Amino acid sequence: MRKSAKGLLHLPITPWCFALVVAVLFSCGKGGGVSQGVLPEEKMLELLSDIYVVEQKVNSLGLKRDTADLIFEKLKDKVFEKAGTTDSIFRLSMDYYIDRPKIMEGIYSQLVDSMNLREQRILSGQPK
């Protein structure tokens, strides 16, 4: 993560993040409650945060793209295991929230706030 003088987090655009943002921007909203099998918003926020951190750690290793992708997939599987979910449930949940851009925008807004807070804690020496 790059740090600015003001302590704000500058999120680099990775292919995964770019695809997600594009999908959110071009999706149309649908009404209704959370479908069965869809992760709650709080769990999605936690998973997206952990996946972003793992992605940045792998990117910082400076590995070739194919090697980095393999390592990222293995670490992402560990994130899902730790959270007690699977890649397929995460994808189902992503599809659900992408079809509801207002909810997804809220999740992403919280994600950016969470990453900024995490950065501030790291810079100040506070524990997570």
Residue 70 pLDDT exceeds 80: yes
Please check whether residue 125 is in contact with residue 119, taking contact to mean a CB–CB distance below 8 angstroms. no
* pTM metric for this prediction: 0.69
**9, 115 contact by CB (below 8 A):** yes
CA of residue 3 relative to chain centroid, distance: 19
Which pLDDT does position 122 carry in this prediction? Answer: 83
Q: How many CA atoms lie within 13 A of 113 on its CB side?
A: 7
Q: For 3-21, how does the pLDDT look when each residue is reduced to its tens digit (9 = 90+)?
A: 444 444 555 556 555 555 5
The backbone torsions φ and ψ at residue 3, rounded to the nearest 5 degrees and listed phi first, read: -110, 140
Is residue 112 predicted with pLDDT exceeding 80? yes
**What is the predicted pLDDT for the residue at 126?**
74
Higher pLDDT: 96 or 9? It is 96
In the numeric block, which tokens belong to residue 44? Answer: 């999605």
Closest-CA residue to 107 (of 25, 55, 48): 48
Residue spans of the domains in the chain: they are: 38-128
State yes or no: pLDDT of 35 exceeds 60. Answer: yes
The count of other CB atoms within 10 Å of the CB of residue 47 is: 21
Output the pLDDT for position 31. Answer: 46
pLDDT surpassing 60 at residue 63: yes
Q: Write out the two tokens for 24.
A: 């959110």
Q: Among 118, 123, 116, which residue's Cα sits nearest to residue 11?
A: 116
